[in-house]
Amino acid sequence: MEHSSASDSETEDHVQPLLRRKNSSDIQKAPACCSSRYGLALLSCYGFFVAYALRVNLSVAMVDMLKNSSRPNSSSSVCPRHSSPVPKHNHTARVYDWDSETQGWILSSFFYGYILTQVPGGYLARKYGTKWILGIGILCTVIFTLLTPLAADLGAGYLIAVRVLEGIGEGVSYPAMHAMWALWAPPLERSRLLTISYAGAQLGTVVALPLSGQICFYLDWTYVFYIFGAVGLLWFVLWACFVSNSPNSHKRITETERLYITSSLKNELSPTTDYIPWTSILKSLPLWAIVVAHFSYNWTFYTLLTLLPTYMNDVLGFSIQQNGMLSALPYIGCWCATLLGGQLADFLRERCLIRTVIVRKAFTLVGMMGPAVFLVAAGYTNCDYFLAIAFLTISSSLGGMSASGFNINHLDIAPSYAGILLGITNSFATIPGMVGPVIAGFLTKSSTNAEWRIVFYISAGINMFGAIFFTLFGEGTVQPWAVQRIHCR
């Protein structure tokens, strides 16, 4: 089945909200309070909290894992260092002599494993169900997190290997969760449910960065991995006990909610899990629009995620204890913007009848162009600490709006294959995590403001290109190849 024409697609996008509103009058909408779908959103939010806490805790711990001789600016910084009247820093754990390039490889190694399980994660979740694919994937990450101190003692190579294995386990998380939401999220609640779910990533970052700094200060860096590993084990127990792959297999869902979800999705899902239109998927321009946007956004996101604590220490001169608190501020804003954006996006689609494609493009533009502007501005604040932190916080906060833009557009264009599509886009979007910190580490060997400006300019330029590309080629309706009823071979 092919596209009839661009005008047909536009007509469909105009009438889609009206059809949905008409259909919604025939379907009894299940309340959100105490519902199974919002329970799933909260528990998956906890899951992404764990995933990102385990991903970013090394960024803060790394500052405390290094000998003074391994950082040129460890005893001094570009800006005057901040004194803090606190108890003496605990230094009972071992420290290591890793240069800046080795640090870059350690911080980026996670993504070399992460990229391997993106497409397989989406495919396996679609074929066999998300519950155990996602659960076991994050459990593996938890186990290898608990082994991190041992690996570091054995050497940088062992630590890199453990981080790669963590990435392999966590790589299934987003594709598998997208595949689950394809079965659980009513079309007009997608932005709300998915942003609640994925906001756990920002929440995990918000909590892990400052808490890791406190743990390093009052205990030592090894406890960062033990404590967050224990939190991850608790999540796995809850996930295994309370989650089901679909509304039809859920034991505690009400009949009203089950009918509401399945009826609202019956015209959007493919009737079989066996057939996958790979050729149509790979030739889909709307999919490649998401690929470019996802890659571009993640370049900035991963560069800051892994290197912001280093920037706070080496340039702005904040201590390990202050570092985690201040590094978390941008992600507090991002978390709030993600949740508010989800509510606003669905309000615009459901109540204001604004076309889905317009909403997705508008949120993508705000969530990518805005961060680019303020990221560049942060590079020119010199030692104005307030402005530097304010601009970085505004940049990341605006980035949260993109969660209701390109980030969930897979479910708009092909809900049946959303997990596979996200696996494809996230594979490309993982590349920035692999090379971004290494390039940034190479460019900031002396940790000067001028060097960091180059890093910020590169990130901002890539962000703007991605936003423009998605605006030109993104779509907001289910693609014909995603709802074929008869497959000719």
Indicate the pLDDT class of residue 270, thresholds 50, 70 and 90. low
pLDDT of res. 24? 44
* C-alpha to C-alpha distances, 84 to 12, 67, 93, nearest whole angstrom: 60, 21, 22
Amino acid at 20: R
Which one is predicted more confidently, 301 or 12? 301
Which one is predicted more confidently, 445 or 461? 461
> Which of 366, 362, 390, 396 is CA-nearest to residue 378?
390
How confident is the model over 50-67, as pLDDT tens digits?
Answer: 999 998 888 888 888 887
Task: Flag whether pLDDT at 21 surpasses 60.
Answer: no
The predicted model scores a pTM of 0.78
Indicate the pLDDT class of residue 5, thresholds 50, 70 and 90. very low
pLDDT of res. 20? 46
How confident is the model over 316-344, as pLDDT tens digits?
Answer: 777 656 666 777 788 888 889 999 999 99
Amino acid at 145: T
Q: Which domains does the chain have, with CATH numbers?
A: 35-75+99-482 (1.20.1250.20)
Work out the end-to-end distance of the chain between its first and last CA atoms, rounded to an integer number of angstroms. Answer: 12
CA angle 109, 112, 117 (to 5 degrees): 135
Report yes or no: 409 and 259 within 8 Å, Cβ to Cβ: no
Residue 47 half-sphere exposure toward CB, CA atoms < 13 A: 35
The percentage of the chain sitting over the pLDDT mark of 70, rounded to a whole number, equals: 86
Average pLDDT over residues 135-140: 96
pLDDT of res. 439? 85
How confident is the model over 225-259, as pLDDT tens digits?
Answer: 999 999 999 999 999 999 999 999 998 899 999 99
Residue 402 half-sphere exposure toward CB, CA atoms < 13 A: 32
Distance CA 268, CA 359 (A): 20
* CB proximity list for 275: less than 8 A, separation 6 or greater: 484, 487
Q: Which residue has the tokens 């969660």?
A: 403
Distance CA 441, CA 451 (A): 10
pLDDT of res. 289? 97
Distance, C-alpha 450 to centroid of its chain: 29
Task: Flag whether pLDDT at 435 surpasses 60.
Answer: yes
pLDDT of res. 18? 42
The b/e string for 119-148 (b: 16+ C-beta within 10 A; e otherwise) is bbbbbbbbeebbbbbbbebbbbbbbbbbbb
Average pLDDT over residues 172-187: 92
* C-alpha to C-alpha distances, 375 to 86, 191, 328, 394, 457, nearest whole angstrom: 31, 26, 16, 9, 8
pLDDT of res. 74? 47
Average pLDDT over residues 339-365: 93
